Structure 1
Amino acid sequence: MNKYISLYWRCQLLGWGTVSIYWAYVVFSRDDYGYFFTLLNYVLDISIGILLTHGYRFIAIKLNWNSLSLRELFVRIVPSIIAMAVLYAFLVNLKFYFYWEWIGEWKWAGGNGLSLSESLTYWDPVLITGLRLMAIWILAYHLYHFYQREIDTARQNAELSIIAKQAQLDNLAVQLNPHFLFNSLNSIKSLVIEDPKTARRAIDLLSDILRSSLYEKDAALITIKDELGLVNDYIELEKVRFEERLNMTVHMDESLNNHQIPPLSIQLLVENAIKHGIDKRIQGGTIVLSIQQKKELLEIKVQNPGKILEKGSDNGIGLQNLSKRLLIQYNGEASLILKNESKDQVTATIQIPMCIK
């Protein structure tokens, strides 16, 4: 059993208790009810208010009025306010009648009783009071539930958006990891017959890469330091095949080591640079990796010799997925740009907000 009073009952007791203080003051100061009868009248006023409004709440829940549109709700609450105001006036006048007929005799023995017909003279002011009180209560009740419904809808939409976003990221990651694995295996395949010893070393390197990437694929972000560890292993793996044809230099501010980025993002740019740049040149070349902060953006650049074909160019599933991941994960505030920097130089640039909103 919940030991706390619900919000509904706290509002009921506090609201009607506050409203009834005025009537308690009137009967105490004007009608000289005394302490006991003033308290009794105060309790009865609270009870009448709660009885009527709680009855309305029961009907509204039973008929599911809180799920109606504003127009549908309006045609129900207007007659409800009138009906409840009439009931309020009837119960209050009935309270006055029995008070003077029965309870009043305890104070004024044989005193002047108030007939039922005389008590009807109170209908006009009491009815107006009932209309005002019931209208305020019903409007407050439905406005609260309308507000709650809007909050619930917004929360559900946010949860669905997060679920959809995570599903997209998971789907892209599932595609990206095999993409990386298959390209690495293709590199090793050419060494198996020609140089078994070197192939074994390459397999060891691939095992290390898979351990640090595939086993942690559920992580949404990874530090730049850890990502560079993966990149270095990958470069060593590819140098087994390319030897002196492949070189890489890194320019980076060491203070950015612990900044987090999507996993496999730098590695994929380096892989793309090797596949579409170094591998197509007999003399090979050097990949230049630059990581720096520019105002509120983290900028990652990978430059390699080569050229992007304007027509029929296919950047592959890797870059396409990375671009989608950045778009989703950073709400459109991150970008991936691949362009020809010069006649024989291609630059891939990732820009990521330093602070995730």
Structure 2
Amino acid sequence: MKRRNIITLCWISLATSLFFFFVFTDEKTVENFMLTIAISSMYSFVLGAGNGLLNDFLNKKIPWSEATTKRAIISIVSILIANIIMVYFCNYMNFVVFQKVATTEQYFSGKYNYINWFTINIALLISAFLHAKGFMEELKKTSKKEVVEQKLIAKSANAQFESLKNQLDPHFLFNSLNVLSSLIDENPKQAQKFTASMSKIYRYVLEQKDKELVTVEDELEFAKTYCELLKTRFEDSVGFDFDVKKEDYRKFVVPLSLQLLLENCIKHNFATSSKPLLIKIFSENDTLCIENNLQVREQIKESSGIGLSNIVQRYSLLTKKNVFIEKSEDYFKVKLPVISYKLNITNAIIEDDDKSYERAQKRVKEIKSFYGNLISYCIIIPFLIIINLMTSPDNIWFYLPMLGWGIGVVAHGMSVFAIGKRWEEKKIREILEKQNKR
């Protein structure tokens, strides 16, 4: 135990001993005062320290954050058993050993059952408070840890996203300069036209590369300009067909995705006047598709793979929708998911966490409600017992609210800790997870 807790128990022992000595002790002698202190200290340290050590032990073995339901069930069972044993021990020492007002046979004959029950309720109150306090402390620690982790995830994802976007500048410039270099030898006039068009396109690259999403309309306009640039070089060897639905124009895609895919089509396929390369850009369900007839050229050196992998990674950071790739003997198709609303990368990462936080907040309220019910039960029922025994000891009625409310507390605990609707939800999730793995 911590030193602070030991000091607190000492003060509690002294305060309770003074109260019982001056209020309930007839003979106010030094001997009786010392006996009162000894009895108060025994109750304080056995019940207080016992419940505290039990709570610390459970915190180490079964933390609230790792197994809330399991911990709650084990806590309820263990505190009931532990407190019954500790109360019977303390009352036995008090009445049989210290005060010697009863024999062992009288104590266990049932004469002190009411006193034992009252003391057990007080002990349960102490234990419920300690466990509730431990739960709230664990919740605060877990919440702070999760906040720090989510901030780190968001920062890491932002850094990764920026790194991916920064690949676009040198990638586009390098490939464009390669095209320009070949045009200078083949057709100097076309090279001049290509240079003018390239400056316009590169301006768009600089403007859009820092954005996380752009409208399909903007991306299509840029793609058409880029296609004109390609037509400047390849003339009739390359054909383009745009058939995108108007309702998709206001949706979003990652910037420069079409440019990278168009570039890949040219890079990995040969194109001649007799066998032109046909590239189609069209809508299909909730995707923007880029398809070309397959005319694979032999690669002198291995491709860097920046284009397609860059798009896949950027989409994975922004949405759960996947980029699909289809390949057959005749065609190669890439499906880009279109996003119906604009978001940013931090919101995309934290969106699910907000929902998780709301569920966790609701869960905490339910658990706090249960502990409030339990603590109220532990406070009020003993007072009802005292009132019953003081006013009408021959007419025992306290067991009616004790049993009725007790059943309600048990039912409340069962509904909160994974029995009932939560059990059904848990089973549904397990079934869905199994189906997804198939």
Q: Quickly name the TM-score band, shorter chain normalised.
A: 0.5 to 0.7
Q: CA RMSD in A?
A: 3.7
* Structure-2 separation of matches of 1:122 and 1:226: 86
1:269 aligns with 2:255: no
1:304 aligns with 2:296: no
Q: Which amino acid aligns with 1:84?
A: T
- 1:175 deviation in Å? 1.9
1:316 aligns with 2:302: no
Q: Deviations over 1:70-101 (max 9, x none)?
A: xxxxxx36x8656533321203444677999x
Contact 1:308-1:346 within 8 A present in 2 as well = no
* Structure-1 separation of matches of 2:296 and 2:23: 96
Contact 1:288-1:303 within 8 A present in 2 as well = yes
1:349 aligns with 2:349: no
Q: Which residue of 2 aligns with 1:85?
A: 9
Q: Which amino acid aligns with 2:317?
A: I
* Structure-1 separation of matches of 2:307 and 2:190: 27
TM-score, normalization by structure 2:
0.51
- 1:337 deviation in Å? 0.8
Q: Which residue of 2 aligns with 1:284?
A: 276
Q: Deviations over 1:195-230 (max 9, x none)?
A: 444333322221222222223322111111111122
Contact 1:323-1:336 within 8 A present in 2 as well = no
In structure 2, do the counterparts of structure 1 residues 327 and 309 end up closer, same or farther at CA, with 3 Å as the change threshold?
farther
1:134-283 to structure 2, matched below 5 A, reads: 138-192=130-184, 195-277=187-269, 279=271, 283=275
Q: Which residue of 1 aligns with 2:377?
A: none
Helix, strand or coil at the partner of 2:250: coil
- 1:308 deviation in Å? 5.1
Contact 1:307-1:346 within 8 A present in 2 as well = no
Helix, strand or coil at the partner of 1:334: coil
- 1:288 deviation in Å? 0.8
Contact 1:88-1:127 within 8 A present in 2 as well = no
- 1:168 deviation in Å? 2.2
Q: Higher strand share goes to which structure?
A: 1
Contact 1:227-1:266 within 8 A present in 2 as well = yes
In structure 2, do the counterparts of structure 1 residues 193 and 136 end up closer, same or farther at CA, with 3 Å as the change threshold?
same
- 1:334 deviation in Å? 1.0
Contact 1:289-1:300 within 8 A present in 2 as well = yes
Contact 1:249-1:288 within 8 A present in 2 as well = yes
In structure 2, do the counterparts of structure 1 residues 137 and 247 end up closer, same or farther at CA, with 3 Å as the change threshold?
same
- Bigger RCO of structures 1 and 2 (CA < 8 A, at least 6 apart): 2
Q: Deviations over 1:301-334 (max 9, x none)?
A: 1121224589998573211222232333334x31
Query: Aligned residue pairs: how many?
Result: 263
* Structure-1 separation of matches of 2:280 and 2:194: 23
Helix, strand or coil at the partner of 1:350: strand
Q: Which amino acid aligns with 1:271?
A: E
In structure 2, do the counterparts of structure 1 residues 315 and 82 end up closer, same or farther at CA, with 3 Å as the change threshold?
closer
* Structure-2 separation of matches of 1:134 and 1:308: 77
Contact 1:289-1:302 within 8 A present in 2 as well = yes
Q: Which amino acid aligns with 1:329?
A: L
In structure 2, do the counterparts of structure 1 residues 246 and 98 end up closer, same or farther at CA, with 3 Å as the change threshold?
same
* Structure-2 separation of matches of 1:188 and 1:260: 31
1:78-117 to structure 2, matched below 5 A, reads: 84-94=8-18
In structure 2, do the counterparts of structure 1 residues 308 and 244 end up closer, same or farther at CA, with 3 Å as the change threshold?
closer
In structure 2, do the counterparts of structure 1 residues 168 and 84 end up closer, same or farther at CA, with 3 Å as the change threshold?
same
TM-score, normalization by structure 1:
0.61
Q: Which amino acid aligns with 1:191?
A: L
* Structure-2 separation of matches of 1:262 and 1:225: 12
Helix, strand or coil at the partner of 1:301: strand
In structure 2, do the counterparts of structure 1 residues 116 and 216 end up closer, same or farther at CA, with 3 Å as the change threshold?
farther
* Structure-1 separation of matches of 2:334 and 2:13: 78
In structure 2, do the counterparts of structure 1 residues 84 and 354 end up closer, same or farther at CA, with 3 Å as the change threshold?
same
Contact 1:335-1:352 within 8 A present in 2 as well = no
What is the aligned-residue identity percentage? Answer: 25
